[in-house]
Structure 1
Amino acid sequence: MSGSGTMMLETAMETRQSRRLANLLDIGRIYLEPAVHAHARGREILARFPEAELIEVASHWRIPELFGNEGAARDWVRNKRTVLVLGVKKAMTIRPNGRSADYIAPGASNGCALACVYCYVPRRKGFANPITTFVNIGQICAAIERHATKLGPRTEPGQTDPHRWVYDIGENGDASVDDLIGGNVRDQIELFRRLPNAKGSFATKYVNRDLLDHDPKGGMRIRFSMLPHRPAKLLDVRSSPMTERIRAIEDFVRAGWEVHLNFSPVVVYEGWTADYIRLFEELNDTLSPVAKAQAKAEVIFLTHNADLHDVNLHWHPKAEDMLWSPRLQETKRSENGQENLRYRAALKARMVRMFLDLMAEHLPWCPVRYAF
């Protein structure tokens, strides 16, 4: 490509990203730890938002007007659109997982600009959870690389992958959205491109086509979250429409990405099985044989929380008509000690079996890696 052609392409990409960024994010206030200025990524992000009000804070976790402020629930979406938090990641813990990945990598972000009503991250952060971006991405990538190097080659196939160790890089956020803030996700793509024994993975509800320009060369798995259209419109607030996600699967496969389907959360309501059959039919009709041949799925039924239910009633009560089903749910203490609501054990076992039977009938080309 000529120099002028390359410049035109770069300009078009910048225009496209700026337009999308303006629709999803209009950052007017940035809370930041003082150490952010010492990191190149921090300075880069601050330069992208030159008109934002800067407020220094001692810790990205301790921002009283955001976290723990019950009144902030009424400004839920506005905070997600207009507030950004910048911090320095302290703990580089890498935890075993065994479901979505072999390991959970140190997160390069926390929180999200999307407002999916069932998201568990607000349970940890209080009444608002705009994006927190960690600017010491070099240290995060170095921790992953040291861990993968110590593991060595994967000698036996596992549920997560037959050949590589899989690291989930998006446990507490959406990496597709994070890429609109700065270069952290692209740095992680580059990392997994050159690690022969490791693969990065993240689930997303947002179609970021700029990621198509970064061929991961087998080192990245993107898991598009799938919900029937009816619950998606109600619950996946500010996310990409479901048809757009389905159509993007083909494009990402062509661009060198591994693409899996993330049926999460599966929400039970009147007519839910019929809606899922229609979703399966749309996937069948849209995807090519090549996309189908590489696909796998994970199935995760809804876990809800009484405190989150109360928060949602402040800003999106209609969603709780679908999520809050006491006659179907029971309290169960999670691994981190929180009391969550899950579908009653015996009922859930039958529903999981029903869902898998529907998949086997309508998506026989899509193996299920795990379901619970």
Structure 2
Amino acid sequence: MLDVRTIYHEPTVPDSSRGAQVLTRWPDAERVVVDSHQAIPGLHGNAGAVKDWVRTKQTVLVLGEKKSLSARPNGRSADFIGPSTSNGCAMACSYCYVPRRKGFANPITVFTNIERILGYLERHARRQGPKPAPTQCDPVDWVYDLGENGDCSVDALVSDNVRDLVDLFGRLDGAKASFATKFVNRDLLAWEPRGGTRVRFSLMPEAMAKVHDLRTSRISERIAAIDDFVEAGYEVHLNLSPVILHEDWLAEWTELLDQVADGTSARSRAQLAAEIIFLTHNAGLHEVNLGWHPKAEEQLWRPDLQEGKRSHSGQDNVRYRAAWKGRWVQQLVDLVGERLPECRVRYAF
């Protein structure tokens, strides 16, 4: 997954315990001091880097400090989107939205001021007090999404940031961590989440995953890990996304849901819940993908099925046409109820 050969880092990183930990992990890597993790000449915004898309993810690491901390209200995946301890990813999913903002290279950036982030999260969670009423996010706990811009299971290969977060929410009353993942990191099974962390395994039909989920764990491996994570004290949900439409899509999803039903225990299925998210794409990402993975765009870029949509962040995206999408969403929701009836659908769009 990682063969780090170059580490870009802000000047103060080696002075922090977490920064020193990561630098020690790859002692032979070239170190390049940069003023900011957000603007690295030759890495960010370099159109020529598209040809090295995957190699960059494998060999480059960025270290910096998270300057601005906030917990944004959400209401879908979680009650709040917590301040991230990283962004970027070593995996190479064709539909990932993060490169839309970061340009032509998207390696992992790890934030080393973890103590400040942990302190902020603990204070924020304690200020909320008891949750006044159940929500679709959780009936009891305030849920904090910690992996909006990366994959925490992969981040745990780089530093102890994720373990620190799991430990924090394992002892916080009334609050729960949550992150989606496409990577089975069995090191997490030795931790003590105490029910305070929700792992959302992202799933899509195997044929689609082979094209679009590059450098990730196989779908069968993710399904096989569900029981083990439940037994280890995690809450496990499913992230059924992105749903990519094509002529045989519903048959493929039927097969996938049957694989989950047959491959998990009654205990695991009883606590399952799912999010369903249909593909949203972007013209800029379409152009980037044509430079490194054009095969993916044959399935992602479907003007015959898609229409323009202005996102909440002001981006011009494309989604499946609203006049048809509602019917397709309901078909998949009904299919979950038929093939995996124990799994409630928390939301679908």
Question: For residues 118 and 305 of structure 2, what CA distance do their matches in structure 1 show?
Answer: 42
Map residues 145-184 of structure 1 onto 2, 5 A cutoff. Answer: 145-184=122-161
CA distance in 2, matches of 1:149, 1:281: 41
Aligned counterparts of 1:275 and 1:313: Cα–Cα separation in 2? 26
CA-CA distance at 1:346 after TM superposition? 1.1
What is the identity, as a one-letter code, of the residue corresponding to 2:323? A
Distance in 1 separating the partners of 2:265 and 2:191: 22
Q: 1:136-215 alignment to 2 at 5 Å?
A: 136-215=113-192
- In the TM superposition, what whole-angstrom CA distance separates every residue of 1:28-59 from its partner, at most 9, and x where no partner exists? 00000001122110011001110000001111
Say whether residues 1:101 and 2:78 are aligned partners. yes
Q: Which runs of 4+ in 1 moved over 6 A?
A: none
- Which among 15, 23, 33 is matched to residue 46 of structure 1? 23
Equivalent in the alignment of 1:81: 58
SS of equivalent residue, structure 1 residue 93: coil
Matched to 1:348, the amino acid is: K
Shift of 1:155: 3.0
The whole-number CA distance in structure 2 between the counterparts of 1:364 and 1:80 is 39
Residue deviations 1:272-330, cap 9 Å, x none? 10000000111111111000000000000001111101111111111111111011111
CA distance in 2 between counterparts of 1:286 and 1:304 reads: 31
Distance 1:65 1:272 in 2: 40
**Residues in 1 aligned to 2:224 and 2:131: alpha-carbon distance in whole angstroms:** 33
| AA aligned opposite 1:344 | R
Partner of 1:6: none
User: Structure 1 or 2: larger helix share?
Assistant: 1
1:66 counterpart letter in structure 2: L
- Structure 1 partner of 2:88: 111
The alpha-carbon deviation at position 215 of structure 1 amounts to 2.0
Query: Within 5 A, what are the aligned runs for 1:1-372?
Result: 24-372=1-349
| SS of equivalent to 1:84 | strand
Q: Give 1:153 shift.
A: 1.4
Per the normalisation by structure 1, the TM-score is 0.93
Alignment RMSD: 0.7
**How much has 1:87 moved relative to structure 2?**
0.5
Deviation at 1:266, TM superposition (A): 0.6
- Output the CA distance in 1 between the equivalents of 2:96 and 2:32: 27
Q: Secondary structure at the match of 2:245?
A: coil
Instruction: Output the CA distance in 2 between the equivalents of 1:38 and 1:85.
Output: 15
- Per mean C-alpha deviation after superposition, the further-off stretch among 195-204 and 33-42 is 33-42
Give the drift of 1:26.
0.3
Return the alpha-carbon distance in structure 2 between the equivalents of residues 153 and 258 of structure 1. Answer: 20
CA–CA distance in structure 2, aligned partners of residues 70 and 109 of structure 1: 23
Q: Percent identical across equivalent pairs?
A: 59
Provide the rounded CA distance (Å) in 1 between the counterparts of 2:121 and 2:278.
Answer: 30
1:186 maps to amino acid: R
Give the secondary structure class of the aligned counterpart of 1:277: helix
Q: Which amino acid aligns with 1:316?
A: H
Q: Offset of 1:66 from its aligned partner? A: 1.4
Output the TM-score relative to the length of structure 2. Answer: 0.99
Give the whole-Å Cα distance in 1 for the aligned partners of 2:214 and 2:247. Answer: 21
Deviations 1:134-164 (A, max 9, x none): 0001111111111011101113211111111
Q: Over residues 208-246 of structure 1, what are the superposed CA-to-partner deviations in whole Å (9 max), with x where a residue is unaligned?
A: 000000120010000000100000011000000000000
Contact 2:87–2:149 under 8 Å retained in 1: yes
* Secondary structure in 2 matching 1:34: coil
Check conservation: 2:167, 2:192, Cα contact below 8 A.
no
Contact 2:65–2:113 (CA under 8 A) maintained in structure 1: yes
The answer for unaligned runs of 5 or more in structure 2 is: none
Q: Gapped runs of 5+ residues in structure 1?
A: 1-23
Query: Number of matched residues?
Result: 349
